Copies of this chain bind each other. A is one copy, B any other.
Amino acid sequence: MTLNLVWVVPVCGVAAIVFAIYLAWDVLRRDMGTQEMQDVGATIYEGAVAFIKRQYTTIAILAVITALVIGGLITLFERFPEVEIDIVELGIRTGIAFLAGAACSAISGIVGMYVAVKSNTRCASAAGRSVGEALLVALRGGAVSGLLVVALSLLGVAAIFYLYGGGTTPHDAPFIIVGFGFGASFVALFAQLGGGIYTKAADVGADLVGKIEAGIPEDDPRNPAVIADLVGDNVGDCAGRGADLFESTVAENIGAMILGVAMAKVTGYDSWIFFPLVVRAWGLIASIVGLMSVRMREGEDPINPLIRGYAVTFILSVISLAACTYLMLGQAWWWFFVAGLIGLLTSVAFVVITEYYTGNRWRPVKFIAEQSRTGAATNIIAGLSISLENTAAPVIVISVALIGSFWAGAQASGVLGISPTVGGIYGTAISTMGMLMTCAYILAMDTFGPIADNAGGIVEMSGAPEEIRRGTDALDSAGNTTKALTKGYAIGSAALAAFLLFSAYLDKVELVRTKMLEGLGYAPDVVAEMVAASQVVNLSKVEVFVGALIGAMLIFFFSSFAIRAVGRTAGEMIEEVRRQFREDPGIMAGTSRPDYARAVDISTRAALKEMIAPGVLAVATPIIVGIVLRAEAEAAFLMVGTICGVLLATVMNNGGAAWDNAKKSIEAGLLKDADGNVIAKGSATHAAAVVGDTVGDPLKDTAGPSVHVLIKLLSTITLVLAPLFISL
């Protein structure tokens, strides 16, 4: 029994969008709080929209140029496309798919940010009534973004698939829609880089002068950089992450469909190609139910109801995964269910590991907090060691998951009469799809974070009672955890998906090479023999090894740009804040209003300028390596680049979050001196922890997430341009 359940894709996708609109309406109709809150909210909104407009204008120009270049390259240099299609048409279609992906990615980011920036005052106002209501507002605001991103990626992939002939030639369509994934990654890269630089330059600048030099609290309205900081939360964390997960799901979905083609060819039925879409559609429904189930009990830690909702989503995902595999994948469904389950469990493992390394109840964060006693240097050294250490557990989990899901897929090969390798690789693809099922819920939890953070800022700046601030602080703390969890989840899925994406690339290389040889008039058996080596990436060849070396280096080099941009801009910001304090003593006295606009302007200009170089580096390097060192070296470049990217992103994301929470745990009074007195804010120990937090900022919110996008970009760019790298 192999049903073609593909009709559920539009149904679930549209249902999710309708539900997101309902949530948006529900949030927006709520009370916007006091006039002061509304004023602060309006200022943030203004700054965010101004930045997003300028940023996406720049990105749009870059995207159009890139679309033309790609279309042109394909038209000029591709001679033997992997599918039956006119070459000029292929170039045009790829360019259009690229622009469509870019547009959808941009919409995901912009809408997510818009709703978040509108939810924050509502959340602040709700906090005046009850923390439970504030939690609901923030989560629903986040859910709008989460559901839209996932629905849009699902519908976008499905739409372009059918537009490009998926209904009649399902074996060809997955290959020509890869431009859609590339476009999405392209926009996500610049969105994440620009937003990340913006938010952290403002944050670092605001914290270092405000907290350490002037001794005023976080989000104090006297700090000239405070509005830039709050704007940054929206443009970096919301818009950036939305675009990021949009492209992740798109790239992985398309990759899985390409692998599905290989399965369809050998088994003779096409469900394999549609399966990734269907299973994700069900995941969307599971996420909606999970989101609706969230209710906070009086006085409990806000993280608990969020985790309960995640559990609901998880269980429903398991059930629907079982149903989908059973209905669509025929006799061997059981093994693919196991593979998918491994993916779902992997996501849970990543959540647990991230919590261990970034939660303040466990050894790593405690160690960093302890080491702050002896100053900033030992705090940083401790943080670096924890950052590096925390690569081990994720790598072990990923290794087990990859081998396990490959094994499960290979078990199915006997029944299906296919080779264990083809089955095994599809197993890793199903595993990734399983992991992605809970994506909408995870993304809602993620966007919850900046909304709660902003609400806290608005409460503080509008001079609302201390009690309300305590409520939003509790939400903010939960938000920090969920933000770290999302990054862990994203990087876990990237690692798991890596194998699927490499395999898709190798499949494409094999197909193109086959067409090439057939075009040159070789006999089919000769061709079969000649392309047999296409699936081999032999690291012991010197040029392949060099490709790997450059792939690893690119990750380090790219990160350096992102980090330096934040450092440089933060330095400017610090000078500006110091200048304002120096030139107008009325600011600290509270009698005159600081010039927020100057700080916003510094972040905006720097972010727009500094995102260009690393972005261009990321796009150009894979193309140059592929052209100079050819297809096999490019595969090694991609694979080892991905390995290093996963590791370095884990180092930076979790390390940064651990530093942040070490500081927070000191602020929460968890560290005591030899006499048992709490080490307070304003102490040398706290100042050391603030330095650590600040160092972690560009790592966890600029470089780390950008590297995550970069990995995906490398996959999609190599998939699209593979034919240029192939010689005989």
Contacts and interface: CB of A to CB of B under 8 A. Distances in A.
Contacts of A428: 542
A405 to B, nearest CB: 9
Interface in A573-588: 574-575
A3 interface: no
A373 interface: yes
B691 A376 contact: yes
A356 interface: no
Q: Is the contact region of chain A dominated by helix, strand, or loop, or is it mixed?
A: helix
A549 interface: yes
Contacts of A635: 539-540
Contact of A388 (B392, B395, B557, B691): B557
So how many copies of this chain end up in the complex?
Answer: 2
Contact of A644 (B636, B644, B691): B644
A691 B499 contact: no
Interface stretch (A107-115, A478-486, A520-528, A564-572): A564-572
Nearest to A684: B213
A121 interface: no
A334 interface: no
A373 B557 contact: no
B643 A548 contact: yes
B557 A389 contact: yes
A537 B545 CA distance: 10
A574 B371 CA distance: 11
Contacts of A406: 542
B380 A556 contact: no
Nearest to A387: B560
Given A388-B559, A546-B399, A647-B644, A540 B374 contact: no
A567 B395 contact: no
A556 B208 contact: no
Contacts of A647: 552-553, 556, 644
B375 A208 contact: yes
A374 B575 contact: yes
Contacts of A543: 403
Given A386-B560, A643-B552, A402 B542 contact: yes
Interface in A493-529: 495, 499, 502-503, 506
A378 interface: yes
Contact of A549 (B204, B386, B387, B395): B395
Instruction: Sort chain A's interface into a size bin.
Output: 35 or more
Given A539-B636, A542-B424, A636-B539, A644 B374 contact: no
A535 interface: yes
Interface string A56-77: 0000000000000000000000
A256 to B, nearest CB: 16
Given A380-B380, A540-B506, A545-B639, A212 B560 contact: no
A374 B698 CA distance: 16
A372 to B, nearest CB: 10
A70 to B, nearest CB: 25
A255 B398 CA distance: 33
Contacts of A424: 542
Nearest to A380: B695
A485 to B, nearest CB: 21
B399 A570 contact: no
A384 interface: yes
A391 interface: yes
A640 B502 CA distance: 17
A552 B389 CA distance: 12
A651 B695 CA distance: 17
A566 B560 CA distance: 25
A381 interface: yes
Nearest to A541: B421
A603 interface: no
Contact of A392 (B557, B646, B691): B557
Contacts of A567: 371, 378, 381-382, 385
A694 interface: yes
A214 interface: no
B651 A574 contact: no
Contact of A539 (B376, B377, B537): B537
A318 to B, nearest CB: 24
A563 to B, nearest CB: 4
Contacts of A388: 556-557, 559-560, 563
A718 to B, nearest CB: 13
B536 A540 contact: yes
Nearest to A421: B541
A220 B635 CA distance: 56
Interface string A202-239: 00100010001000000000000000000000000000
Contacts of A376: 376-377, 691
A482 to B, nearest CB: 25
Interface centre among A380, A392, A574, A647 (most CB of B within 10 A): A380
A566 B384 CA distance: 12
A679 interface: no
Contacts of A27: none
Nearest to A505: B540
A550 interface: yes
A265 B387 CA distance: 49
Contacts of A385: 559-561, 563-564, 567
Contacts of A553: 391-392, 395, 647
Interface in A360-416: 370-371, 373-378, 380-382, 384-389, 391-392, 395, 398-399, 402-403, 406
A384 B659 CA distance: 15
A538 interface: yes
A690 to B, nearest CB: 8
Interface in A653-706: 690-691, 694-695, 698-699
Contacts of A550: 395, 399
A548 B644 CA distance: 10
Contact of A499 (B542, B556, B563): B542
With a 10 A CB-CB cut-off, give which of A375, A403, A566 has the most chain B CB atoms.
A375
7 contacts: A380-B380, A391-B557, A495-B549, A499-B542, A539-B539, A539-B548, A552-B552
Given A378-B571, A381-B566, A549-B646, 16 more contacts: A212-B375, A374-B571, A378-B567, A378-B570, A385-B564, A387-B560, A388-B563, A389-B561, A403-B543, A499-B542, A502-B539, A535-B540, A537-B539, A539-B539, A539-B548, A644-B644
